[in-house]
Amino acid sequence: MEIYIEYFKELELDSQVILEKLTPLFKVCSEFCPEPVESIFVSEYQQIDGRRVIESLILFSNSFIMEIKQPFSEDFKWDIASIKNKVRWLQVSSQNFNLSVADAKSRMYVTTTLSDEVNCELKASGKNCNHLWQIVNEHFRPNLVI
């Protein structure tokens, strides 16, 4: 989890709080997954008043996606799904983001369908849009079903 400290700092998240709260959750999920975690993503959005709301922490391996829902709540809820060659539909929506340079006003939303029962929704604001676009290209795009 420590290898993602720079990512958390870029998002202006308190890395100490993140490590204390998320390391045990990350450990459970990464041990359950049969493959090593390759990427993480913080799904978040900014409210009108500027406060950031963190909805989930998404973990990616080569073949799986795991979501820790509301990671700062008292409840521990997570799921895992196969992503390998399972992306049936992908929608990318962005505001003030040209898919290369993000600024404070940038917003990005990605929705994908992996099966009849599994949909994923990821949100990003500011510099996190760059990370979400990277996730799309590294994990969703190669797994599009043709």
| pLDDT tens string 52-88 | 899 999 999 999 999 999 988 888 899 999 999 999 9
Q: Model's pTM, two decimal places?
A: 0.92
* pLDDT higher than 80, residue 2: no
* pLDDT higher than 80, residue 3: no
The mean pLDDT value for 111-133 works out to 94
The mean pLDDT value for 4-24 works out to 82
* Domains in the chain: ranges and CATH: 2-143 (2.30.29.30)
Q: How far apart are CA 27 and CA 9, in angstroms?
A: 21
DSSP 28-95: HHHHHSSS---EEEEEEEE-TTS-EEEEEEEEE-SSEEEEEESTTSSS-EEEEEE-TTTB-EEEEEEE
Q: How much is the pLDDT for 1? A: 64
> Among residues of the chain, what percentage have pLDDT more than 90?
66
